[in-house]
Amino acid sequence: MEQHQLGATGPMVSALGLGCMGMSGMYGESDRGESIATIHAALDAGINLLDTGDFYGMGHNEMLLAEALKGVPRDRYLLSVKFGAQRDPAGGWLGFDGSPAALKTALAYSLQRLGVDHVDIYRPARLDPRVPIEETIGAIAEMVQAGYVRHIGLSEVGVETIRRAAAVHPIVDLQIEYSLVSRGPEDRILPALRELGIGTTAYGVLSRGLIGGHWQSGAVGAGDFRAMSPRFQGENLDRNLALVEALRSVAAARGISVAQAAIAWVAAQGKDIVPLIGARRRDRLSEALGALDVTLSPEDLAAIEAAVPRDAAAGDRYPAAQMAALDSER
Alpha helices in 225-329 (DSSP H): 234-254, 258-267, 282-289, 298-307, 320-325
Within 10 Å of residue 12's Cβ, how many Cβ atoms?
11
Q: Is the dihedral of CA 212, 189, 142, 78 positive or negative?
A: positive
SS3 325: helix
Q: Rounded distance, CA 312 to CA 50, Å?
A: 31
Active-site residue, from 56, 77, 178, 203: 56
Q: Rounded distance, CA 265 to CA 260, Å?
A: 8
Specify the long-range contacts of residues 284-290, CB closer than 8 Å, at least 24 apart.
284/38, 284/212, 284/259, 285/18, 285/38, 285/41, 285/42, 285/45, 286/41, 287/257, 287/259, 287/260, 288/16, 288/259, 288/260, 288/263, 289/16, 289/45, 290/256, 290/257, 290/260
Alpha helices in the chain (DSSP H): 32-45, 60-69, 100-114, 133-145, 159-168, 189-196, 234-254, 258-267, 282-289, 298-307, 320-325
Return phi, psi of residue 315, to 5°: 95, 150
Is-catalytic flag, 56?
A: yes
Q: Which residues are catalytic?
A: 56
